[in-house]
Structure 1
Amino acid sequence: MILVTGATGTVGREVVRRLPEGVRARLMTRGPATGVAKGPAGSVHETVIADYGDAGSLGRALVGVRTAFLVTSRVGGDDDARFLRAAREAGVERVVKLSAAAVLDPLADDLITRWQRANEELLRDSGMEWTLLRPRSFMSNALSWAASVRSERVVRALYGTSANACVDPRDIAEVAVRTLTEAGHAGRAHTLTGPAAVTPVEQTEQLGRVLEVPLRFEELSPERARAALRARHPEPVAEALLAGALRQRDGAKAEVVDTVRSVTGTPARPFRTWAQEHRGAFAG
């Protein structure tokens, strides 16, 4: 039995869609499973409501599970520790964790990166088999521009000429499914990127071509970016995101690796492909 946490999330729901026919999976959500994706015909999945803060619900979710896909998002919290403790007690043998590529950057010392490094260490020390997935930024982060593209034909972001080797969440999910269902990934960390580093200016140009409309890029000042981030996130998280943007400006997120192809046999999708397949979100 495979447990997929975050089954309604950006990566989790794509993992569910890609699990091979006949694989038994339990899909963990924090609330009613209205956003859970459908697996292929012949899949035998069940849904369970559980929360990292509720040891009883975690124990019930983990009964009979041998492999788990772990996604946590409460920055600075102890959800990983709670899950790994429950998984160990339930006899889980292997955990595949979604982490972040920034943990490899020795100059990255923001809250989010420190939290991910600590969580990785917890997993490595858990006594269970482990695999780490370390993606760059999700291409789907561009969806935050959808409202301004629809209403103003404008993209606003920090540091327009800074490059990020962002990755399609579907490619992350493809790799995750391989690590969950195939041998040979225990004790390994997979860094995941797209096929090329792209800047916000280049993303704006590619979106405009896909939509067949002229789009304008407007660079945010650090002050405006900080205000926007603090409106959506706690202040420490907002500051961590700003620190990450500075590292991107300095070239820390531009390196491309071919892990998606080496694990799945298929090259990573470029940003333009992601944009074409999500054009409806920007077109209104």
Structure 2
Amino acid sequence: MILVTGATGTVGREVVRLLSACPGALPGVRVMTRDPTRLVGACRAAEPVAADYRDPASLARASAGVRTAFLVTADVGGDDDAVFLSAARAAGVRRVVKLSAAAVLDPGADDAITRWQRGAEELLRGSGMEWTLLRPRSFMSNALSWAASVRSERVVRTLYGTSSNACVDPRDIAEVAVRALTEDTHAGQAYTLTGPSAISAVEQTEQLGRALGVPLRLEELTRDQARAAWGRRYPAPVVEALLVSADRQRAGAKAQVDAAVGTMTGRPARSFEVWARDHREAFGAVPARESGAGSGDTGPGAGSGAGSPLGAGG
């Protein structure tokens, strides 16, 4: 049995979709969410379980009979990882594949989010279970945070528009995760996951505009404007961590490309241009069924990066 936590999230639901393509896989896939009524697509065909990191008894039920778990947590500074790992170990879970972040490798990254991620990794490595760490750069899907302004104003607003990040398509993260969950050769391994090249918000704006067939312009936010915008969504310590992370990106700390996606999947990592083309509908493009163009998942983003929502990346 494989347990997928965060099954309604950007990466989790894609992990379930890919697992569903494996012959006979879904009877052995359990999806964990606080609200099973939110499950859609392939997740509805898997075994649902209602569980919450704040309810250890529900985690024990979710982990019963599980051999391998995909672990996603997002409560910065919280103890979700510790509570889950305790329940998983007691239930006899053999292996945990953890979604972490590339920033943990940067000795210059000492913000609240990265410290929390490092601590979560340490807990897993010391858990006594087999472990695999996935450390993505920022998600390309962070660009979905621009969707409303692109639809209404043809404008992208972001901090430090010319700084580059080797952001990664969440579908690539999910594909690597599925291999780590289903193959026996990844125990004790950590994989840094990036796109094929570093790209700035200016370049993303240009490529997104081409995908939509409309001109877009970028308005660069000041630090105070970014702080105010993020402050409407996140607590103050997280906002300050995001600002420090953006400073690191401007200094070039997030531009390095890693080959792990290609090595693990046997094909090149997807580019932002491909991601933008596949997600045009989220930005107001004519749906594929009318235009004949392809489209992909347009759910909410996760990660920290160009659009600066919270989560994996760094």
RMSD between aligned residues: 1.2
Q: Does the alignment pair 1:279 with 2:280?
A: yes
Could you tell me how far 1:44 is from its partner in structure 2?
6.9
Aligned counterparts, 1:227-246, within 5 A: 227-246=228-247
TM-score calculated relative to the size of structure 2 = 0.88
> Which residue matches 2:24?
22
Contact 2:36 2:48 (8 Å CA) reproduced: no
The aligned counterpart of 2:39 is: 35
Change beyond 3 A, Cα 1:36–1:80: farther
1:171 and 2:197 are equivalent in the alignment? no
- 8 Å CA contact 1:150, 1:283 repeated in 2: yes
Distance in 1, Cα, partners of 2:68 & 2:56: 18
1:67 alignment counterpart: 68
Pick 1 or 2: higher relative contact order, CA cutoff 8 A, min separation 6.
Answer: 2
Q: Which residue of 1 aligns with 2:54?
A: 53
TM superposition shift of 1:235: 0.6
2:215 is aligned to: 214
TM-score, normalised by the number of residues in structure 1: 0.97
Retained in 2: the 8 A contact 1:167–1:194? yes
Q: CA deviation at 1:262?
A: 0.2
Which residue number in structure 1 is paired with residue 249 of structure 2? 248
Contact 1:14 1:37 survives alignment (8 Å): no
The answer to whether the Cα contact below 8 Å between 1:5 and 1:28 also exists between their aligned partners in 2 is yes
Cross-structure match for 1:187: 188
Q: Distance in 2 between matches of 1:283 and 1:277?
A: 12
Q: Structure 1 regions of 5+ residues with no counterpart?
A: none
Secondary structure of 1:238's aligned partner: helix
Q: Residue by residue, what CA displacement relative to the aligned partner does 1:225-259 show, whole Å, maximum 9, x if unpaired?
A: 00000011011111111110000000000000111
Amino acid in structure 2 at the alignment position of 1:45: A
Distance 1:267 1:273 in 2: 12
Question: Which amino acid in 2 is paired with 1:109?
Answer: D
Counterpart of 1:196?
A: 197
For 1:131, the equivalent position in structure 2 comes to 132
Residues 8 and 33 of structure 1 are in contact (CA less than 8 Å); yes or no, is this contact kept in structure 2?
Answer: no
Could you tell me how far 1:32 is from its partner in structure 2? 2.6
What is the alpha-carbon distance in structure 2 between the residues aligned to residue 34 and residue 237 of structure 1? 27
Work out the CA distance in 2 between the residues paired with 1:266 and 1:37.
Answer: 26
**Whole-angstrom CA distance in 1 between matches of 2:189 and 2:211:** 37
**Deviations, residues 52-83 of structure 1 (Å, cap 9, x unaligned):** 11011111111100100000011110000000
How far did 1:36 drift? Answer: 3.7
Q: Could you tell me which amino acid in structure 2 is paired with residue 26 of structure 1? A: R
List runs of 5+ in structure 2 lacking aligned partners: 286-314
| Secondary structure at the counterpart of residue 132 of structure 1 | strand
2: CA distance between counterparts of 1:37 and 1:49? Answer: 17
Note closer, same or farther for the CA distance 1:44–1:160 as it changes in structure 2 (3 Å cut). closer
Tell me how far 1:117 sits from its aligned partner. 0.1
State the SS of the aligned residue for 1:255.
coil
Number of aligned residue pairs: give it.
Answer: 281
1:51–1:57 contact (8 Å) kept in structure 2: yes
5 Å matches for 1:63-102?
63-102=64-103
Q: Which runs of 4+ in 1 moved over 6 A?
A: none
